[in-house]
Amino acid sequence: MNAEMLYALRDPAGVPSHPLVFLLLGVLTFALHAAAVQVMLGAGALVLRGAFSADAHWRRLAATMLSTAKIAVSVAIVIGVAPLLFVQVTYDPFWYTSNVLSAWWVIGFVVILIAGYLAMYGFYWRNPDLASRPARSGWMMVASLALLLAVGFIMHVLSYQMLWPEQWQAWYAPGGRVDPSGRTLHAWSLPRFGFFIALAAPVIGAWLIAVRRYLQGARERDARYLDFLARLGRQLMLAGGVVALAFGAAWIATLPEKMAFFATSPWMLVALVLLLVAVALPALLGARLERGLWGYAVFGVGAVALIAVAAAREALRYTLLAGTHGYDALDYRIHMDWYSTLTFFVTFGVLGAAALGYLLTVAWQAGQHRGGVFTPSAAVTRLGQVSIGLLVLWIVHYFAIGLWVMGR
């Protein structure tokens, strides 16, 4: 498919802000989504490992990770909407075509996701006392992880099919006969998919190191459990990092000819260096993991590494579509809409920061509190009041603007 046809498929209304804004937000939100997915997968795997163990530490960890996994699924779903919106704005000819070619799977994606989420909640409901006794209905957790992995594979395929516009016609009309069913998944890269999934091991390892530091701050009395978390976290980071890098190397080694440039891309090299630093950080920090905020630094550096991976992924897509297929996402027609742009950033930066900051502060302080009922300070209470006030103001503004537009 030539560049003229790709440009003709663009939305004639253009975009309401510079395309670079959407590309950068797409990178950031995809990294956040990927982190939530990897925490969910890693936590889910630890649930299966510990739920049937006779070891008290493994059962305690399984109970904790089950709560972590079900919350991470919610976070992944909510945040996952954002990168989808950003990619369909700047790459709409590619994203929508890929969706139409595999439409049956796009619709099935929602059904499979719901089934996977319900299976996890079913396991959670069947095991309210997971820390004290072996698990019941373990098949539910197995089914949940399998279904959620299937959902991830569908999204991988849809994203990968975007990169093959020269194949679209053959996929839609194989042998010259039109197949509008959308029942086929046409292209994928198992090493690429495996790389993103394998990152769950070092990510959950970093998460366990942070959990251990949190429990230290809460004056956890079971020193052996803390040692267990430290040892397991380091093992997962090291072994998981090796596996993830092996998948990454296989991905690079099997790149199609038109993507071969990515093997020596500075974006890829920066992401590789940051991943290596994140994996090696526990050993580099040593005893400092026991003090201050250093225990959380491992997960923080890992988050930066994930942003670098997301940036490399976007650089591959942008460079390939611009260089090979003549489609430059940055020259999209701009019809600047300052109101919607400012509304987005104010909602995200002011309302979001205040509300999320309040919830995280209360959760953090309550978890660190020992003895009696936790009562937040006056400053924290005031932050909660401000958050509610901002939310009410936003809702009033939303309906006021809507009614004003309808009345024009």
At 5-64, the pLDDT tens digits run: 899 989 888 999 999 999 999 999 999 999 999 999 999 999 999 998 889 999 999 999
Q: How far apart are CA 199 and CA 205, in angstroms?
A: 10
> Directed axis angle between helix 200-217 and helix 190-198, to 10°?
10
Q: Are 95 and 87 in contact (CB under 8 A)?
A: yes
Residue 289's pLDDT is 85
Report the candidate in 89, 85, 50 with the shortest Cα–Cα distance to residue 335.
89
What DSSP assignment string belongs to 288-354?
GGGSTTHHHHHHHHHHHHHHHHHHHHHHHHHHHHHHTT---GGG--B---HHHHHHHHHIIIIIHHH
Provide the β-strand partners of residue 15.
Answer: 334
Q: Are 272 and 311 in contact (CB under 8 A)?
A: no
Q: How far apart are CA 298 and CA 296, in angstroms?
A: 5
End-to-end CA distance of the chain: 43
Confidence of residue 387 (pLDDT cuts 50, 70, 90): very high
For the chain, domain boundaries: 3-336, 338-408
339 Cβ contact partners less than 8 Å away, ≥ 6 residues apart = none
Q: How far apart are CA 66 and CA 68, in angstroms?
A: 5
Q: Tell me what the mean pLDDT of segment 82-102 comes to.
A: 95
Structure tokens at 190: 């198992």
Report the candidate in 49, 3, 31, 4 with the shortest Cα–Cα distance to residue 236.
49
At 307-335, the pLDDT tens digits run: 999 999 999 999 999 999 999 999 999 99
Q: Are 40 and 73 in contact (CB under 8 A)?
A: yes
Q: How far apart are CA 208 and CA 228, in angstroms?
A: 10
196 Cβ contact partners less than 8 Å away, ≥ 6 residues apart = 34, 38, 152, 156
Residue 2's pLDDT is 79
> Directed axis angle between helix 92-101 and helix 103-126, to 10°?
80
The percentage of residues in the chain with a pLDDT greater than 90, rounded to a whole number, is 79
At 56-65, the pLDDT tens digits run: 999 999 999 9
pTM over 0.85: yes
Q: Is 15 helix (H, G, I), strand (E, B) or coil?
A: strand
Q: Are 297 and 140 in contact (CB under 8 A)?
A: no
> Directed axis angle between helix 223-253 and helix 56-90, to 10°?
40
> Directed axis angle between helix 223-253 and helix 200-217, to 10°?
160
Residue 405 has pLDDT above 90, yes or no: no
Question: What DSSP character marks residue 29?
Answer: H
Residue 364's pLDDT is 86
